[in-house]
């Protein structure tokens, strides 16, 4: 089973999370359960032991004072011991049962002896007092043994948890290291893949460019070759010679145009960075457009305020970008139409100029390709397909953005977004 | 004159001897022994006696039988007997009834059981029922607190339950009291055990039990056969295990009469009532 890159990162993190939660859970359980049980058992054993001493003292003093109040106090204290024994039973039932047996025998013996003294049966009382002392020593020793055992258990528990935490820390560190290694390896692989992809895309782009250039240049070259062959076939200054020469000239000019466009496309980011009045640049582009194209059938509507923001950049390049967009729009409306140009402030740092035509629009299938070099829907009209690509290169070279939206039959909107000069 | 002097001396010697004999045939004080039920009362009455007549009073427990035997052997002037005298005993001893008492069944105050029938009591003390669950109580082992032979409390208990102490069980159709029972002597001892051991059940003098409960002993007196163990029920005869409290003696000499007199006086009867017992005169101290 192959794991995705995401899984390779997420799964180990999940594993660490589970490991950390499990570790903390175990430590929490250990501290709040095992250690708490030991501490609680030790506390109860201490209380039981102290209770037994108290009862012993109470009844011994009862022997001296011959006072019945001792009996009431003894019974009350004895019940408290049984309460503690019940609590201990929940923690260590076997030990609690053993203490209960010992304590019961001891209490019965103690009370009996005291009763003998109260009835002033002194000789019998003295004999049994010695037996009681032995019994008390035994029960005290057993209680001490149990309390000491708890102390040892507590020490072992502390050692265990220390070892556990040390091992856990090592495992945790190892897991983190492993995941960091995996992450770095994955990152390196991704970068390599990206580099490879970029390289292949560059090659593909170069291939497409070469094919485009070859295709575009081939036509004028064919015209030139064909013209020269015709001139060679009839070198005399006959009818049509001038037409052939004109055809060759047009073909040369077309090839020159293609190469110039290509140079514009391939040149780097804008070199000049002077402040530009964008509207003035736009007006200049419109003026040039008017010189190059017949615009009588096109109505141009401007929606930009005179105080439109300034941008920083190369005026000639921006003008070229605007001109390419305008030419594209005009060519999209061969039967006439409306070209709306309007500006909009996007935010404090940027503004946009939108060119919306009412032409045929771009089919959905082609919308993603219109910015590719040499892609043209108007190939038959002699369009090189570099115009919008060049415009996008210029705008992006100025840190801006060029966006195309289109609806077939309704028209196309080209939006140029530029940064405001500060 | 010499004869007169000699007679005077003789009369003095005789008077002195008689006086010494009056104070105690065994020692100079009043020797008393017997029932642990009556012992605390006798001690308080003894203090009154000492204040009034200046003679020391020595009191020992040991149980009813010890009291009877001590008087019969001459070791004591007065025996404390916490039951009615048998006909055989009446033949050799005189007695004075100083009050009445009952034997009540006690459990620890934490025990949810509050009443008991005779058959349940027999089941417990014969060892048939070993867990309080069997009597509708909680899951807890029954600890039986019984009495040593010679204690009238045991005799009354035997009479009521038809059980007998294991040493004489052959004589009873009811069978023996369980051998697992702890056997103790005094009422105080029994109450201290039942009060200090959660699963314990015992039987003691009602007077002792009431007095100790008042002092804070964690005890509970169970209703027996549906009748509560109260002084009123003992006086009206409803409570099933009641008994007389007697002082026994061989010879009603002056000091014995004086001691019995204090017991029967309002002050003595008040002591009885203060300890939860019923006075000899139908529940009234005076």
Please check whether residue A56 touches B, CB under 8 A. no
Tell if the CB–CB gap between A82 and B185 is shorter than 8 Å: no
Please check whether residue B139 touches A, CB under 8 A. Answer: no
* CA A96 – CA B38 distance, rounded (Å): 39
The tens digit of pLDDT for each residue in B258-267 reads 999 999 999 9
What percent of chain A is predicted at pLDDT more than 90? 6
Which residues in A lie closer than 8 A to residue B196 (C-beta atoms)?
74-79, 107, 111
Question: How far apart are alpha carbons A221 and B91 in whole angstroms?
Answer: 163
- ipTM value, please give it: 0.70
* CA separation for the pair A32, A44 (Å, rounded): 17
The residue in chain B having the minimum alpha-carbon distance to the alpha carbon of residue A79 is: B196
Per residue, what are the HEC states of chain B? CHHHHHHHHHHHHHHHHHHHHHHCCCCCCEEEEECCCCHHHHHHHHHHHHHHHCCCEEEEEECHHHHHHHHHHCCCCEEEECCCCCHHHHHHCEEEEEEEEEEEEEEECCCCCCEECHHHHHHHHCCCCCEHHHHCCCCCECEEEEECCCCHHHHHHHHHHCCECHHHHHHCCCCECCCCCEEECCHHHHHHHHHHCCCEEEEEEHHHHHHHHHHCCCEEECEECCECCCHHHHHCCCCCCEEEEEEEECCCCHHHHHHHHHHHCHHHHHHHHHCCCEECECCECC
Which chain B residues contact residue A76 at CB under 8 A?
195-196, 216, 218
What's the rounded mean pLDDT across residues B276-283?
A: 71
CA distance B133 to B199: 11
CATH number of the B2-99+247-279 domain? 3.40.190.10
- For the segment A204-218, the average pLDDT, to the nearest whole number, is 69
The structural domains of chain B, with segments of one domain joined by +, span 2-99+247-279, 102-235
**Is the CB of residue B241 less than 8 Å from the CB of residue B105?**
no
The torsion angles phi and psi of B30, rounded to 5 degrees, stand at -100, 120
The listed range with the strongest mean pLDDT (A43-52, A228-237, A287-296, B196-205) is B196-205
- Average pLDDT (A121-135) is 79
From chain B, the residues in CB contact with A79 under 8 A are 108, 110, 195-196, 198, 218
Binned at pLDDT 50, 70 and 90, residue B13 comes out as very low
What is the distance between the alpha carbons of residues A92 and B102, in angstroms, rounded to a whole number? 43
Residue whose tokens read 């001296």: A64
Rg over alpha carbons for chain A, rounded to the nearest Å, is: 50
Query: What chain B residue is nearest to A69 in terms of C-alpha separation?
Result: B215
> Min CA distance, A10 vs chain B (Å)?
55
Using DSSP bridges, classify how beta strands B115-116 and B30-34 pair: parallel, antiparallel or unpaired.
unpaired
Q: Is the pLDDT of residue B203 over 90?
A: yes
- Spatial distance between the Cα atoms of A183 and A195, rounded to a whole number of angstroms: 18
Highest mean pLDDT among A95-99, A227-231, A284-288, B102-106: B102-106
Dihedral sign for Cα B64, B65, B66, B72, please: positive
Pair A49, A147: CB distance under 8 Å: yes
CA distance A112 to chain B (A): 6
The structural domains of chain A, with segments of one domain joined by +, span 5-186, 270-419
Between A54-58, A124-128, B104-108, B209-213, the lowest mean confidence (pLDDT) is in A124-128
Out of A3-12, A27-36, A145-154, B90-99, least confident range: A3-12
Per-residue pLDDT at B129 exceeds 90: yes
Instruction: Choose among B109, B134, B140: nearest CA to B122.
Output: B134
**Does the domain spanning B102-235 belong to CATH 1.20.140.10?**
no
Instruction: Flag whether pLDDT at B156 surpasses 80.
Output: yes
CATH class belonging to A5-186: mainly alpha
Q: Of the spans A260-274, B6-20, B80-94, which averages the highest pLDDT?
A: B80-94
Six token digits for residue B263: 């017991």
Q: Which H helix or E strand runs over A415? A: strand A411-419
**Portion of chain A with pLDDT greater than 70, in percent:** 84
* Residue A108: CB atoms within 10 Å: 21
Of A38-47, B26-35, B118-127, the least confident: B26-35
List pLDDT tens digits, range A92-109. 888 888 888 888 888 888
Pairwise CB contact (< 8 Å): B189 & A115? yes
Closest-CA residue of B relative to A78 is: B196
Whole-number pLDDT of residue B61: 86
Cβ of B193 within 8 Å of Cβ of A107? The answer is yes
What pLDDT was estimated at residue A4?
65
On the question of a common fold for A5-186 and A270-419, the answer reads no
Instruction: Give the pLDDT of residue B15.
Output: 38
Q: Specify the higher pLDDT residue, A392 or A66.
A: A392
Per-residue pLDDT tens over the stretch B23-40: 334 446 899 999 988 998
Confirm if B140 and B132 have CB atoms less than 8 A apart: yes
Q: Compute the nearest-CA separation of B227 from chain A (Å).
A: 26
Is B40 close to A68, i.e. CB distance below 8 A?
Answer: yes
B54: left (phi over 0), alpha (psi -120 to 50) or beta: left
Mean pLDDT of A317-343: 88
Range of lowest pLDDT (A206-215, B71-80, B234-243): A206-215
Indicate yes or no: CB of B110 within 8 angstroms of CB of A112. Answer: no
* Cα of A133 to nearest chain B Cα, Å: 19
Question: What pLDDT is recorded for position A286?
Answer: 87
Give the β-pairing of B242-249 and B78-81: antiparallel
pLDDT of residue A235: 65
Task: State the Cα–Cα distance between residues B152 and B94, nearest whole angstrom.
Answer: 18
For residue B215, list its beta bridge partners.
none
Nearest to A143 by CA among A34, A32, A56: A56
In tens, the pLDDT along A159-177 reads 887 888 888 888 888 888 8
Is the pLDDT at A270 greater than 70? The verdict is: no
Nearest CA in chain B to A81: B196
Q: For chain A, how far is it from start to end, CA to CA, in angstroms?
A: 56
Residue B142 contacts A where some CB pair is shorter than 8 Å: no
Subunit contact B143:A120, Cβ cutoff 8 A: no
So what's the pLDDT on residue B97?
A: 93
Nearest to B217 among A72, A77, A114 (CB): A72
Asked whether B274 and B215 are in contact (CB, 8 A), the reply is no
In the numeric block, the tokens 């139409």 are attached to: A337
Residue of chain B whose Cα is closest to the Cα of A85: B198
Does the pTM exceed 0.90? no
Taking contacts as CB-CB distances below 8 angstroms, the residues of chain A near B216 are 72, 76
Which CATH number applies to A270-419?
3.30.565.10
Question: What is the per-residue pLDDT across B52-111, written as a single tens digit (0 to 9) for each?
Answer: 999 999 998 888 999 999 999 999 999 999 888 988 998 889 999 999 888 999 999 999
User: Do B275 and B208 meet the contact criterion of CB atoms below 8 Å apart?
Assistant: yes
């Amino acid at each position: 089973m192959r794991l995705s890159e995401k899984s390779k990162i997420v799964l180990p993190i999940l594993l660490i999370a589970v490991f950390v939660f499990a570790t903390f859970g175990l430590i929490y359980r250990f501290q709040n359960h095992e250690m708490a049980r030991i501490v609680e058992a030790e506390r109860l054993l201490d209380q039981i032991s102290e209770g037994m001493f108290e009862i012993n003292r109470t009844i011994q003093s009862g022997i001296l004072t011959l006072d019945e109040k001792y009996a009431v106090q003894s019974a009350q204290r004895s019940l408290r011991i049984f309460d503690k024994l019940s609590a201990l039973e929940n923690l260590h039932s076997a030990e609690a049962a053993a203490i209960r047996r010992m304590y019961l025998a001891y209490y019965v013996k103690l009370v009996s002896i005291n009763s003998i003294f109260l009835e002033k049966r002194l000789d019998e009382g003295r004999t049994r007092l010695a037996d009681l002392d032995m019994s008390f020593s035994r029960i005290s020793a057993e209680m001490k043994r149990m309390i000491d055992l708890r102390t040892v258990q507590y020490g072992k528990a502390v050692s265990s948890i220390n070892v556990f935490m040390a091992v856990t820390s090592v495992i945790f560190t190892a897991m983190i290291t492993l995941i960091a290694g995996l992450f770095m390896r994955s990152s390196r692989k991704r970068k390599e893949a990206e580099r490879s992809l970029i390289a292949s895309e560059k090659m593909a782009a170069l291939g497409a460019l070469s094919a485009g250039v070859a295709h575009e240049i081939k036509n004028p070259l064919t015209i030139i070759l064909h013209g020269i062959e015709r001139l060679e076939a009839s070198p005399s200054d006959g009818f049509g010679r001038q037409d052939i020469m004109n055809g060759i000239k047009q073909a040369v000019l077309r090839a020159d145009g293609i190469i110039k466009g290509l140079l514009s496309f391939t040149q780097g980011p804008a070199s000049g960075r002077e402040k530009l009045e964008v509207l003035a640049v736009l007006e200049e582009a419109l003026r040039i457009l008017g010189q190059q194209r017949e615009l009588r059938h096109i109505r141009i509507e401007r929606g930009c305020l005179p105080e439109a923001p300034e941008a920083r950049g190369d005026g000639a390049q921006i003008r070229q970008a605007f001109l390419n967009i305008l030419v594209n729009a005009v060519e999209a409306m061969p039967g006439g139409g409306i070209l709306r140009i309007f500006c909009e402030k996007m935010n404090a740092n940027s503004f946009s100029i939108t060119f919306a035509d009412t032409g045929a629009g771009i089919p959905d299938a082609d919308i993603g390709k219109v910015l590719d070099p040499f892609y043209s829907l108007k190939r038959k009209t002699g369009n090189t397909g570099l115009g919008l690509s060049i415009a996008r290169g210029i705008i992006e070279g100025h840190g801006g953005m060029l966006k195309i939206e289109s609806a077939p039959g309704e028209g196309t909107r080209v939006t140029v977004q530029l940064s405001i000069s500060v | 004159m010499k004869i007169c002097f000699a007679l005077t001396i003789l009369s003095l010697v005789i008077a002195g001897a008689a006086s010494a004999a009056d104070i105690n045939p065994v020692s100079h004080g009043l020797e008393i022994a017997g029932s642990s039920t009556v012992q605390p009362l006798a001690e308080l009455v003894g203090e009154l006696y000492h204040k009034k007549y200046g003679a020391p009073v020595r009191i020992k427990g040991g149980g009813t039988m010890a009291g009877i035997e001590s008087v019969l052997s001459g070791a004591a002037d007065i025996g404390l007997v916490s039951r009615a005298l048998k006909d055989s005993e009446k033949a050799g001893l005189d007695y004075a009834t100083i009050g009445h008492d009952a034997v009540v069944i006690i459990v620890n105050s934490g025990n949810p059981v509050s009443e008991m029938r005779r058959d349940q009591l027999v089941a417990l003390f014969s060892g048939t029922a070993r867990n309080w669950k069997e009597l509708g109580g909680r899951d807890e082992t029954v600890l039986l607190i019984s009495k040593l032979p010679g204690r009238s409390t045991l005799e009354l208990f035997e009479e009521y339950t038809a059980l007998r102490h294991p040493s004489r069980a052959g004589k009873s159709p009811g069978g023996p009291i369980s051998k697992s029972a702890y056997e103790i002597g005094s009422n105080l001892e029994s109450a201290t055990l039942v009060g200090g051991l959660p699963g314990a059940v015992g039987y003691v003098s009602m007077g002792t039990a009431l007095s100790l409960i008042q002092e804070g002993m964690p005890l509970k007196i169970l209703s027996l056969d549906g009748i509560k163990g109260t002084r009123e029920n003992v006086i009206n005869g409803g409570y099933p295990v009641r008994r007389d409290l007697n002082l026994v003696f061989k010879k009603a000499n002056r000091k014995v009469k004086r001691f019995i007199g204090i017991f029967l006086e309002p002050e003595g009867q008040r002591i009885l009532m203060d300890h939860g017992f019923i006075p000899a005169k139908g529940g009234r101290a005076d």
